[in-house]
Amino acid sequence: MTKVLMVCMGNICRSPMAEGMLRKALQEAGLDRHVEVDSAGTHAYHIGSAPDPRAQQAVSRRGADISRLRGRQVAATDFEAFDYILVMDTDNYSKLVRLAPALHHHKIRRLLSFSRKYPNLDVVDPYYGGAQGFEENLDMIEDAVKGLIRDIAGAPQAKQWPGI
């Protein structure tokens, strides 16, 4: 089982959107039984909260449901438990690298490092903006998710999966 953790600051906008879109893409690719997905925030602002209603609506328009997700903060055990720890921006990347034991630094990457259209960019926090920011985030996330699935499918453990 490959485990992916999506991380943003509060875990109510970007990382739950990324979690929802990755789950949808994995299901469509027939890989949902082989990949576990979760999301978390670097800050404790919204522990236990549902994703922002604007995030839920934007993801729903693209065929995924994140309404049952609840915010949580990154835990020390996450660095050991997950194979991919994917952050939405440079600030959260820096925070996780400071928190993680050095032997897990290789797992921490920016989500858009898997993107063909938006490499080297941050998924900017849409919280204080309008609906368009959520749509722009989803465009970036969907592109990166495609690249992430290609990467996961090329990993050594994927050779054991039926249909790969």
Q: Which residue is listed with tokens 């990166």? A: 144
Judge whether 14 counts as a catalytic residue. yes
Which residue is catalytic, options 52, 78, 122, 125?
Answer: 125
- Cα dihedral sign for 86, 88, 90, 95? negative
**Bridge-based pairing state of the strands 2-8 and 35-41:** parallel
Q: Quote the CA–CA distance of 96 and 129 in Å, as a whole number.
A: 25
Q: Quote the CA–CA distance of 8 and 142 in Å, as a whole number.
A: 16
Judge whether 13 counts as a catalytic residue. no
Helices and strands, number each (H, E), in the chain: 5, 4
Among candidate residues 69, 68, 60, the one with its CA nearest the CA of residue 24: 60
Which residue is catalytic, options 13, 14, 38, 110?
Answer: 14
Among candidate residues 25, 51, 55, the one with its CA nearest the CA of residue 133: 55
Give all strands (DSSP E) within 17-116, no chain letters: 35-41, 84-87, 108-110
Judge whether 150 counts as a catalytic residue. no
Catalytic residues, by residue number, are 8, 14, 125
